[in-house]
A = this chain, B = another copy of it.
Amino acid sequence: EETLDSVMKSLKELLSYHDGCPSTVTKTLSCTSIKASGRLASCPPGMAVTGCACGYGCGSWDIQNGNTCHCQCSVMDWATARCCQLA
């Protein structure tokens, strides 16, 4: 049988979330670069590829397997994946 105090106890627990789900309100977009030699560079699990850079001034790339930058130009020495996540 509920008492005012039991109700108040639950309310206080819930009120600790009062400032709007702190775990999400403060989330921001956070990005990092992963560079690798050759023509492939992959983002770690949990991060999304938002763009790629390539050696030899190459701007032709595609994304393989959802997380890997593939630099397409014939001669290639490095590839960089720009990786972002909510953190």
Q: Which residues of chain A have a CB within 8 Å of any CB of chain B?
A: 2-5, 7-8, 10-11, 14-15, 17-18, 20-21, 23-25, 27-31, 33, 35, 46-63, 72-73, 80, 82, 84-86
- Protomer copies: 3
Q: Which residue of B lies closest to A72 (CB)?
A: B57
Main SS class of interface, A: mixed
| Beta-carbon contact of A84 and B21 below 8 Å | no
Contacts of A7 in B (CB 8 A): 2, 4, 7-8, 11
Our pick among B24, B25, B53 for the contact of A62 (Cβ within 8 Å) is B53
Q: A5-B2, A24-B25, A59-B54 are in contact. Are A31 and B11 (CB under 8 A)?
A: no
Separation of A43 and B74 alpha carbons in the complex (Å): 28
